[in-house]
Amino acid sequence: MPRPRLKTERAFGTKGLNKEEGRDHTKWKVFDERDRYTGIKTKTSRSGKDIDDTVLSLIRKQLKFDTKEELLDFIDCDWKRDDYFDMLRRKKEL
């Protein structure tokens, strides 16, 4: 099920991903508590369209979620920033 781009980007911003505007895309990078870049990143299109399932699948992999449902919960505000970082630590991504 597609997700609204603005809602997705708002969730990324409130959950610790840093925004970097590009010409065609907005880049989202994850920085740890010490403000060090973790190497985890994704991007969203600036087209204004909803984010479809194919792109959500790519974002899921880039942000290290195991399932699409986890990503959707993250977007829909069921996860907090600390929950995301805890998941990344368990997977030894941080």
Beta bridge partners of 21: 26
- What's the count of helices (H) and strands (E) in the chain, helices before strands? 4, 3
pLDDT at res. 26: 93
pLDDT at res. 16: 84
Q: Counting every residue, how long is the chain? A: 94
Average pLDDT taken over every residue of the chain: 91
46-91 pLDDT tens trace: 887 899 999 999 999 999 999 999 999 999 887 888 899 999 999 9
- Asked whether residue 20 carries a pLDDT value surpassing 80, the answer given is yes
pLDDT at res. 80: 87
For 64, the token pair is 């290290």
Tokens 């990078």 correspond to 29
